[in-house]
Amino acid sequence: MLLFPFSNSVEGGAKDKRVKMRIVLFVNDSNFSFLLVKPLVEKFHASIICSVFSNRIDNSIKRILNVFRDTHYRYFVYRSYILLMTKINNFLHRNSVKSLCYKYSVNSKNISDIKLLKNSRHLFPADIGIAINFDQIIPEEILNNFRIGVFNVHASRLPYDKGISPVLWAFARGEEKIWSTIYTMESKIDTGDIYDQFTIPVEEKDTAFSLYNRVCTISGKQLEYVIEKVAFSNLGIIGRSETSEGNYLGWPNHEHLKMMRINKKKFISIRQVIDEFIQLKLRYFS
């Protein structure tokens, strides 16, 4: 349980009480989300009052077709593979955020429209929100219900590369390191106070899949560290991401595919696909 000090003035000095932190997760479940959330849930599960899962894409064929229209076919196939693995892991109750919530008895809720939560007395007010790959814009009236703020991980050096799939764009450009930023969200996309920024090296044999797995694993551990420090007021703001600064990325399109080909980059290798299915088989029989 995450407890933070609440100081009350009493005669003869200040007396510290320990008050339970109230945390709400906002998640779009996937293997990548699992890697980001795992350290948090394992350490702070007693303080998490609910995990809110977005099923916006799952419930809309139109949105899935829109993703196909806005991207190139290789990305769409890769994304479809990730979604398939997520579905299978959920079915097996392995390597998914939902399986973590079940293991640690964290309440969960599926929702297609985040605005439906704005008057939820069960969730709000709360102390900290954590958004992980959440595919809905959290409105200001919900953000304002968090005493400290809603934290997010964006894998770029904000304010640069705001928007969609920054790791895939940086990987396609042939960059040698990936930046990751932990910040508190505001109503505009990828803007807010920055608490931490760090880099993850790109290895020569990386595919987009292996790289993003590593980015999520490292960022998840760092997010756990930041949340604990912020709860005890031991970590300050190091910068801001403003709307007027930096650039915005869209869906990986044909320009992205062109860069992938020029720099000889792959989304995922056959060996990695085989290994994933072997792991699924082992999970099924475990």
Which tokens go with 263? 């720099």
Task: Provide CATH code, domain 20-281.
Answer: 3.40.50.170
CA 9 vs CA 6, 14, 19, 148: distances in Å: 10, 5, 16, 22
Say what angle helices 73-92 and 270-285 make with each other, to 10 degrees: 10
Q: Which DSSP symbol is given to 113? A: -
Single-letter code of the amino acid located at 105: S
Supply the pTM of this predicted model.
0.89
Residue at token pair 């959920």: 90
Ranges of the chain with pLDDT below 70? 1-19, 57-64, 284, 286
Instruction: Name which of 231, 239, 149, 232 is nearest 194 in CA terms.
Output: 239
Residue at token pair 């996937």: 30
Give the distance from CA 227 to its chain's centroid.
14
How high is the pLDDT of residue 286? 66
Task: Compute the C-alpha angle 63/79/45, nearest 5°.
Answer: 90
CA distance 43 to 101: 12
How high is the pLDDT of residue 142? 94
Domain ranges of the chain: 20-281
Interval 154-207: pLDDT, tens: 999 999 999 999 999 999 999 999 999 999 999 999 999 999 999 999 999 999
Which tokens go with 125? 């007010």
How high is the pLDDT of residue 8? 39
